[in-house]
Amino acid sequence: MSKQIKLHAPDISCQHCAMTIKRELSPVEGVISVEVDVPSKTIDLTYADDAALARAKAMIQEIGYPVVQS
């Protein structure tokens, strides 16, 4: 069963940021879907398990968007 979380990434500033996050997270094992909302600076993530969430958070940090759980 999948899980969902909303992450706040204060450094999201434009559609390019959103496209980068979606592109980099899509191939991460266990990530089911990614939606980025630029105005609210949030990432809605659907993932398979806690390990997938950890991998996704690590990737988001690696590409330069520190996140906090909303």
pLDDT at 56: 97
pLDDT, residue 11, reads 96
* CATH number of the domain to which 11 belongs: 3.30.70.100
The CA distances from residue 44 to 1, 40, 69, in Å, are 17, 11, 10
Instruction: Determine the average pLDDT of the residues in 19-45.
Output: 98
CA pseudo-torsion sign 39, 58, 63, 16 = negative
pLDDT at 1: 86
Question: Is pTM beyond 0.75 here?
Answer: yes
What is the reported pLDDT for 69?
Answer: 66
How much is the CA Rg of the chain, to the nearest whole Å?
Answer: 11
Looking at the 3D structure of the chain, how many domains does it have?
A: 1
User: Domain containing 23: what range?
Assistant: 3-69
